[in-house]
Amino acid sequence: MTASPPPLDTTDDTNGTTTMNLCCSSPMVPGSTLTEKADLLREWGYDAIAVFQPFADWTPAVRREVAQLEQRTGVRPVEFVLVDDIYGTAMSDDADLRERCRAMYRESASVCAEIGAVMEIEFEYGAQDPLPLFDVHRQLSAAQTDAFVEFYVEMLDLVAGTDARVLLEPINRYESGYLNRVSDNLRIIEAVDHPNAGLLPDLFHMSIEESDPVQALRDAGDRIVHVHLGDNNRLLPGDGHLDWPGIIDALRDVGYTGSLNLECSTNGDPAVTLPRTAAFLRELIGS
């Protein structure tokens, strides 16, 4: 495999060491514009923002704002996703729905290629009905695997030669019927064998599907490109019972130096809880 694109530079100029950086998802932050949200995050101790942009409000002006966000605020957009009701239907049996979703994903990929951000895709995404209480960790058929690998390669080729990455995110069984565990997604990543591929582990989802989330991170190793944080109850890290020191130690031990992105509930006034969480995480990562 050819070398992967470089991660976000997280060198600490005070001592020359490299560490993880703190990021927060845009829907968690108050503000009417991305610039307002990024300004607040900088004040609250964050380095980066993950932009989850409603597709219905996506305009050339917002795209320019995303592209200029780091220059304006000092906060880098490291993740970009267009969101809509059609999200997660790229493998749908409905040809029209499938194509509309893929067109939206292609637009996300073009933005990521421009700014060097990551995006994620899943085989499917949405509330499962009936609930999979007893039929869990279903495996894709050979035909489903081939079709998903083909689509994944198509997406990866859109960002080839750039710093952008298209990642697989294991999703819990209640939101996706397949690819719930880290190991399931690693098999797809290995099958595509593409320098712009990688894994996006989400600790909330992992708290449901992994018997040992810390060991799963260690098993994923250098294929981890971006990380979503949420405690087992999808509240902020430290507001549940996940082993955050062990999680950060595992990421450090595998050499992870990317973003730790909050994707969860702020559980109160974000002006209070987000600075508090930044301080909690900085103590753990040692910066």
The structural domains of the chain, with segments of one domain joined by +, span 21-285
In this structure, the chain runs to a length of 287
Q: Is residue 165 within a helix (H) or strand (E), and if so which, with residue range?
A: strand 165-168
Q: Of the candidates 171, 81, 94, 82, which has an alpha carbon nearest to the alpha carbon of residue 127?
A: 171
Q: What percent of the chain has pLDDT over 90?
A: 92
* Structure tokens given for 99: 């194509």
Antiparallel, parallel or unpaired: β 21-25 and 48-54: parallel
pLDDT band at residue 18 using 50, 70 and 90 as cut-offs: low
What is residue 108's three-state secondary structure?
A: helix
| pTM, 2 dp | 0.93
Q: Mean pLDDT throughout 140-169?
A: 98
How confident is the model over 185-226, as pLDDT tens digits?
Answer: 999 999 999 999 999 999 999 999 999 999 999 999 999 999
How confident is the model over 125-148, as pLDDT tens digits?
Answer: 999 999 999 989 999 999 999 999
pLDDT band at residue 17 using 50, 70 and 90 as cut-offs: low
How confident is the model over 53-80, as pLDDT tens digits?
Answer: 999 999 999 999 999 999 999 999 999 9
> What CATH number has the domain spanning 21-285?
3.20.20.150
